[in-house]
Amino acid sequence: MPLPKQKVGTIEVVSPGNREMDYYVKLALYEEAGVRLYWLVDIERKTIVVYDLEHEAIPALYHFVDSVPVGIYWDFEIDFSSMDLAKVVTTLSDKIC
């Protein structure tokens, strides 16, 4: 899977049938490509895992009730508590399929 060299960040929604790919394989690919920030939004677990690949930090775990700091932008965060992510993903899936 070729990736752009200057990619700043990536947000992925974990695929229930392909969890290993999202949690391990893609993480390694993005890290190798120089991606600075990798977010995994897990609908089943209602979590957001944030990997700060630039600083090799321990991954941060957030829940759908949290505000998540973007990290690459000063004083900017995304408030997941104001979103119904399960509904968003279901709506997108219905339109794509």
What the chain holds in terms of domains, given with CATH numbers, is 9-96 (3.90.1570.10)
* pLDDT for the residue numbered 92: 47
Tell me the C-alpha to C-alpha distance, in Å, between residue 62 and each of 38, 44, 46, 50, 71.
13, 14, 9, 8, 14
Position with higher pLDDT, 35 vs 6: 35
- Asked if residues 24 and 53 have their Cβ atoms less than 8 Å apart, the reply is no
Does the structure show a pLDDT above 50 at 96?
no
pTM given for the model: 0.74
pLDDT band with cut points at 50, 70 and 90 for residue 49 = very high
Q: Which residue has the higher pLDDT, 76 or 44?
A: 44
Average pLDDT of the segment spanning 65-76: 77
- pLDDT value at residue 89: 57
Confidence of residue 54 (pLDDT cuts 50, 70, 90): confident
